[in-house]
Structure 1
Amino acid sequence: MLIAGAAGMISQLTVMPIFAPIVGEEMLLIVGLLGGCTHVFLYGIAWSYWVPYFAAAFIILSAFVHPSIRTNVSKSVGSNEQQGIAQGCISGISSFASILAPLIFTPLTAWF
């Protein structure tokens, strides 16, 4: 987790500012979502002890998701008051998902 967090921080600080103007936030969002899906898929079908470690490399790409979503929402709403409401909704949904995900994911991994 520490390595994935540090790698995500480095990718947000170095890779994202370079690629965002070139490919756009929408493409970074797609890349981040595909990276996260690839990580979860490989983690779910891990056939050997090394596969979860290999799959962890794809979670670095998912660091692009939250900044890209926030950027797109920020561009789509108007006034400052709406900015706060929109960003607050994103934070609330993210917090709710952080609570709900372990409740769903833990029993699923117990089956295997």
Structure 2
Amino acid sequence: MDRITQLKAFLQASPGDNFLRHALALEYIKLGDDNTARSIFEEILTQSPAYIGSYYHLAKLLERTGDTPAAIAWYEKGMEAAKQAGDKHAFGELRSAYEELTF
């Protein structure tokens, strides 16, 4: 059983599991299916804005596909979420990627 099939099976049992959904999005990136990955990341962050790990990966995907304005917006949202959560490490990673893109 491939990883996507396996993750989808786990998600049937736990459809709201953000860790599993995030992992599924990463698998789609590996396959080059950025549109599906983007949809999954956006769904996670719309439903669970405190799931900080997905901000970086979504913004990097957008950056890689040339949607710089959207990448900047997601980095900014991620920095705000990380700040609110007190996650200095995530905030630093997001800020570093944001600054590299904007300066």
Q: What TM-score comes out, normalization by structure 1 length? A: 0.29
Q: What TM-score comes out, normalization by structure 2 length? A: 0.30
Structure showing greater radius of gyration is: 1
Which structure is richer in relative contact order (CA contacts within 8 A, separation 6 or more)? 1
Q: Which has the higher helix share?
A: 1
